[in-house]
Amino acid sequence: MYPIYVFLIYEENTNLRLSLINIGGDLDCHRSAVYLYIIWNLDDDEDDFFLYVGQSRDLAKRLSDHMNPLLRIKHPSLHYYAWDSRPKNLSAFVILAYLDEPTNFSTGTELVIGKDDQLKMNIVEL
């Protein structure tokens, strides 16, 4: 069984959005991870923001897909709507957890992780 590393940081007397952004993480890694996507608008209160939790077998690829406007148009979703709803929206991705050394195998064109590893990611995403 492989450990899951969870990173949670909260600094008292700061705004929650900034504390969430400060979680950070390596957004260029190609590991399995659970991530938090934070969307806000500078015209709004610092306490007004949207959160989206996602998971990926290859974090860097998934985040690259999220940043591609053509893919957002092709695969509409509520979080893409929130993201694209206002021109001045800003956003940040942070890593909530990495899955260390998943038991994966290749099907030739796709990397597949084991059921136990997928269950761990689903639990962390909750």
Q: How many domains does the chain have?
A: 1
Q: What is the pTM of this model?
A: 0.71
Tell me the residue range of the domain where 94 lies: 4-125
Give the per-residue pLDDT at 27.
93
pLDDT of residue 8: 47
- Asked if pLDDT for residue 1 goes beyond 60, the answer is no
Per-residue H/E/C for the chain: CCCEEECCCCCCCCCHHHHHHCCCCCCCCCCEEEEEEEEEECCCCCCCEEEEEEEECCHHHHHHHHHCHHHHHHCCCHHHHHHHCCCCEEEEEEEEEEECCCCEEECCCCEEECHHHHHHHHHHHC
pLDDT over threshold 90, residue 28: yes
Q: Is the pLDDT confidence value at 20 over 70?
A: yes
